[in-house]
Amino acid sequence: MSNPFNMLKVALIGSTGAVGQEFVVALDKHPWFNLTHIVSSERSAGKKYIDAIRDPQSGILKWHNREQVPEYVRDKIVSKIDDINPKEFDLIFTALESDDAQIIEPKLAAHVPVISTAAAFRYENDVPILIPGINDEHTDLLKKQQEERQWNGFIAPLPNCTTTGLAITLKPLIESFGVKSVFMTSMQALSGAGRSPGVIALDILDNVIPYIPKEEEKVQIETKKILGRYDRESKEISVNDVKVSCTCTRVPVSDGHTEVVFVETIENADPSSVKKKMMEFSDNVSIKNLPTAPRDYIVVNDDPTRPQPRVDREINDGMTTVVGRLRKDSVFDNGIKYVLLTHNEKMGSAKGAVLLAELFKTKKII
């Protein structure tokens, strides 16, 4: 464990993909974390990072969000996974496909804490799915994971990026009004599919794809686990009994997941009360003073044309969940409905992972 005033030495596995590139941006000039090693596939190993993210045929940079590649990482040499010693790091971030994560992450976690964007271990009983500010108490489960698996480190996965905004907006409703059931339809950005396999341009152009494999099941399971109660005696998470049903679709938007949410509450919840509770939750969120935390955890917009991905996804550098069209539902006796927007590759992925690392540091978990 490191002194809280010392820089932590970190590595990034999967550094050249779309999410890996977002990690590189998020860690640029970070006050607490020093990214010393970037790791990728055999194809990229040995190259300078600037060359590893360049298309070998066209020479065009594959920097998916067109941001300038940070200076600190341009000339770093990309390593292979076998070339690094996990014991040399305080923390490792991984941006891997689930099949690769299943093999690689336990080998790392035997020695060092791992924060993962993959789904590989999300559904294990001794693995919490963490959103900083929402279920911080679930971090205690990491101790059980270390003990049972006899690891010096642990695996802490983020949720599916579609789950993130939904869980964030439901938390203040559960605390203030209680929630019985949730119906959600997502309109998810192309970047959420990654580059490989990604989405074929001819499939998405002038189109909406009404099915994303395994996505709905992930959101339904993860939301209940994240919003569940952690029992310190049994060292287990009791999943929330809220009923969650969703339909996940892919739309021709570059970044930012939009979700239409219908909530049946236990107690009566009018729009003004819901807005008030969301804003109070945002103002008092536990992670408010961390370096990557947004100034506004939740923003509730009264403009009926908001949120919109192109307009709102970069609010507070993509770390704010934006809520709009908050209104009474006409089907449920006690019901509310709204539209939310969250940045799938920032709060929902890389920057959210960095924020989680900051939470771990303040709680002296790393």
Q: Report yes or no: 251 and 344 within 8 Å, Cβ to Cβ.
A: no
Q: Report yes or no: 127 and 109 within 8 Å, Cβ to Cβ.
A: no
Residue 165: both structure tokens together: 């905004």
Taking CA atoms, 154 is separated from 82, 149, 216, 246, 287, in Å, by 19, 9, 27, 31, 21
Task: Please state the φ and ψ torsions of residue 110, each to the nearest 5 degrees.
Answer: -60, -20
| Alpha carbons 115 and 230: distance in angstroms, whole number | 20
**What's the distance, CA 167 to chain centroid?**
11
Q: In 3D, which of 173, 174, 207 has the Cα closest to residue 190? A: 207
| Alpha carbons 356 and 315: distance in angstroms, whole number | 19
Classify the C-alpha dihedral 22-24-25-27 as positive or negative.
Answer: positive
Is residue 257 among the annotated active site residues? yes
Instruction: State the number of CA atoms in the 13 A half-sphere of 350 facing the CB.
Output: 25
Residue 157: both structure tokens together: 């996965």
Q: Report yes or no: 76 and 38 within 8 Å, Cβ to Cβ.
A: yes
Q: Which one-letter DSSP state was computed for residue 272?
A: H
Residue of 37, 161, 246, 343 marked catalytic:
161
* 3-state secondary structure string across 152-175: CCCEEECCCHHHHHHHHHHHHHHH
Residue 256: both structure tokens together: 């930012």
Residue of 37, 64, 138, 257 marked catalytic:
257
Is residue 246 among the annotated active site residues? no
Q: In 3D, which of 125, 95, 109 has the Cα closest to residue 25? A: 95
Catalytic positions are: 161, 257
